[in-house]
Structure 1
Amino acid sequence: MSLSGSTFAIALSQSSSSSWSFIFVSCVDNLMGKLRDFITTILACLHKTPIPDETPGRAAPPIVIRTEAPPITISTEEPTESVEPSEPESAPAPIASPKEASQASSKVSDLLAEIPVKGRARKTGYERSMFGSGWSDTDRNVCDTRNDILARDLDVHEFKPGTHNSVVLTRTLLDPYTGKAFEFLRGQGTSAAVQIDHIVALSDVWQKGVQQLSAQERIELANDPLNLLAVDGPTNASKGDGDTATWLPPNRGFWCEYVTRQIAVKHKCSLWMTKTEHPASIRVLTNDRT
């Protein structure tokens, strides 16, 4: 069967139209595919997600953007390794500044200025028993005053068993009067090697105002730690009842403290000094003893 010219033209026209339509659709489909791939690549770069494999017929997985920060865990458990604290360094003993030393000297000078200057009274009626019968336990600590002072002033001690540390058997004395070390050993013939000195002798205070004190006040004075010091026995015996004007310890380095203690005791007990003792005390305090 033969086609007429018009019929062939129409058929050719329809065939060309279909071909162009197919080409157009293919181009559009290809373009959309590339556009889709381009968009996917851009989003993957922005969100740092891997580009999904192009598997035919499989949709790309959704892109998930995490907006929540991961939880932060804070451990409250202590570390297993403990660090031992270092021991604090012992602080050195404070050294008095020149100003502090001057203030201390001024206070002693003030006390000295308040002590009256009078003549020595008669020694008539003086007896050691006027100050009590021997050493007392005025602070009621089970120890008598002698053993209290031995325990205070001596080093490296040993107490008699069963006495609640109230009887000193052995100890080492760094004697302030001589500057030498002595061994104290309790016993007959050895105990007297270390004696307890009344810095202001009881005979001296008897002649300088103590007669006005009551019997109990005199006992307290005789047992007052401020007026007591453990010292070398023979050196103490050489002192007698001397005051600052007539006797000072051989150890010149102890003079200032010795005189300061005498001033403190006499001021505390409202005693007086003689006209030679008072200036002698001033000379010692000013390091100008002649």
Structure 2
Amino acid sequence: MRTIRALIALFALVALSACDPSILDQGGAGASPGPIGSGPAGQGAGAAGQQLAGLTVSNGLSMSGYSREKFPHWISQGHGCDTRDVVLEHQGSGVRVTSSCEITAGDWTSPYDGKSYTDPQKLQIDHVVPLANAWKSGAKNWTTQRREEFANDLTRPQLLAVTSSLNESKGDQDPSQWRPPSRSFWCGYAEDWIAVKHYWQLTITNAEKSALSDLLGSC
């Protein structure tokens, strides 16, 4: 999994062509077999630990007024693609799409459990930091535009194509309540969660901080 995550940094180099189906149809540069994300790939437990220490601990804001509609997704990314399409294109290998950005072939591995898929409809796109968690961690006070940017963030390691049942079982839970079944991804999951919260300046709870520290211990 760490090898897969190391490919994340390549995303910035192909961002301008991310949604161009003609590139993907060539079976070359379009197949980037790593999760969407930016941030320093495999940044290491030390760096993640420093970011974790810098996060503000809070019990969180009220969930009053929350709905997923407050975080518009999946938005257009150009060339007929939306955010979900881009995540699938870049996390898969051998991905092929039509001129209207319909994905017709590819191979995907869910980082949460290591299961492989050839049908993208069997995958869901998970927000690593769930929208409801972001709401009570600070996004409640954001503008709708900023919440839209968060919900469609293709730069941080916030969006992953994963086994549908795991995305549903995770729901809105944080690392103190849920963690990936695959222990080999615990380190990466903690690094990703921390990177997202650090960039978006979201708060964490004491239980969440303790769980993240524990997950970093697996690095």
TM over 0.5: yes
Q: Percent identity?
A: 34
Letter in 1 for 2:88: L
Query: How many Å separate the matches in 1 of 2:82 and 2:125?
Result: 12
In the TM superposition, residue 140 of structure 1 has moved relative to its aligned partner by: 4.2
Letter in 2 for 1:236: N
Query: How many Å separate the matches in 2 of 1:103 and 1:178?
Result: 22
Correspondence for 2:38: none
In the TM superposition, residue 123 of structure 1 has moved relative to its aligned partner by: 1.5
Correspondence for 2:210: 279
1:87-166 correspondence to structure 2 within 5 Å: 104-132=44-72, 134-137=73-76, 139-140=77-78, 142-160=80-98, 162-163=99-100, 166=101
In the TM superposition, residue 142 of structure 1 has moved relative to its aligned partner by: 4.3
Correspondence for 2:126: 197
Letter in 1 for 2:50: D
Q: 1:214/1:141 Cα in 2 relative to 1: closer, same or farther (>3 Å)?
A: farther
In the TM superposition, residue 128 of structure 1 has moved relative to its aligned partner by: 1.0
SS, match of residue 283 in structure 1: helix
Q: Structure 1: which 4+ aligned runs deviate by more than 6 Å?
A: none
Q: Which runs of 5+ in 2 are unaligned?
A: 1-41
Residue 196 of structure 2 is aligned to residue 265 of structure 1: yes
Correspondence for 1:217: 146
Query: How many Å separate the matches in 2 of 1:208 and 1:266?
Result: 9
Query: How many Å separate the matches in 2 of 1:119 and 1:286?
Result: 24
SS, match of residue 276 in structure 1: helix
Larger RCO of the pair (alpha carbons < 8 Å, separation 6+): 2
Check conservation: 2:61, 2:140, Cα contact below 8 A.
no
In the TM superposition, residue 170 of structure 1 has moved relative to its aligned partner by: 2.6
TM-score of the aligned structures, taking structure 2 as reference length: 0.75
Query: How many Å separate the matches in 2 of 1:205 and 1:106?
Result: 24
Q: 1:175/1:274 Cα in 2 relative to 1: closer, same or farther (>3 Å)?
A: same
Query: How many Å separate the matches in 1 of 2:132 and 2:215?
Result: 23
Check conservation: 2:45, 2:191, Cα contact below 8 A.
no
Out of 175, 188, 192, the position equivalent to 1:244 is: 175
Correspondence for 1:167: 102
Which has more radius of gyration?
A: 1
SS, match of residue 271 in structure 1: coil
Correspondence for 1:181: 116
Check conservation: 2:44, 2:191, Cα contact below 8 A.
no
What RMSD over aligned residues (CA atoms) do the two structures have, in Å?
2.0
Correspondence for 2:137: 208
